[in-house]
Amino acid sequence: MAKATLPALGLGTFRLKGEPLMGSIHKALDLGYRHIDTAQMYENEETVGAALDAHDVPRDEVFLTTKIWHDRLQHDDLLQSLQESVNRLRVDAVDLALIHWPSPNDDVPMDEYIGALADAKKQGLAKNVGVSNFTVAQLERALSVPGGEELVTNQVEVHPFLTNRRVVDAIQRAGLTVTAYMPLAVGKVLEDPTLKKLGEKYDASAAQVALAWLHQKDIVVSPSSTKEAHLKANMAALDITLEQDDMDAIEALNRDERIADPDFAPDWD
């Protein structure tokens, strides 16, 4: 199985564009962030590339993740789309290229796009490759086809209200890294009484408690923010160690509340 060390904290860029995104990246890099997560679908790769170019942190110190959209999964088109992403990001290769969503209705066979992803790594377009939004069964399939041995992560929605335990366990059992998107449930964690109470105990915010919980479960997180105080707080959250009873209390908040559920999504576990 391929192995890669993903930085534990990344900067998410979903829904950020233009000056707000540029400012967010510069503040994050100033604070010590070294992992930026973008995607073709976010339509902001050019700004991410420009922001990294304009900052004095050496490019090879920043771990850059992008994702290939599901309309570019045919072999040659996948490679072409990733070349376009690399050009927009102003790099020779991304550190991690993910399949953003499995092909809806299996329109493109999985062995074709997983094989293409492995070819992208061979050709030097991506240093590491992985998937996103794959169910347990889809992950098992992906790992079994030629090229599947190159996969290093499955990026899925995980937060206190969607612990996604079956998928998380399957990813970790397979020796891959779990990357969580929407780790703060688009801000909903801030209003939760349990998380707020735990925040008082640890002299932290509810958001920091949620991130600490994920970090303690060996899950990589990439929350997004344009505010320096929040960026700093997100970073500090990784230094919090929660007691096991408190970890269990957060786990018990699960209500299978899924936020990202487009009409082309797979049948979730």
Active site residues: 42
Question: What is the Cα–Cα distance from 216 to 204, expressed in whole angstroms?
Answer: 16
3-class DSSP state of 105 = helix
Distances, alpha carbon 100 to alpha carbons 83, 94, 112, 176, in Å: 16, 15, 15, 16
Beta-carbon-side half-sphere exposure of residue 103 (alpha carbons within 13 Å):
18
Return the amino acid letter for 222. Answer: S
Question: What is the Cα–Cα distance from 129 to 4, expressed in whole angstroms?
Answer: 9
Q: Are 96 and 152 in contact (CB under 8 A)?
A: yes
**One-letter-per-residue 3-state SS of 144-200:** HCCCHHHEEEEEEECECCECCHHHHHHHHHCCCEEEEECCCHHHHHHHCHHHHHHHH
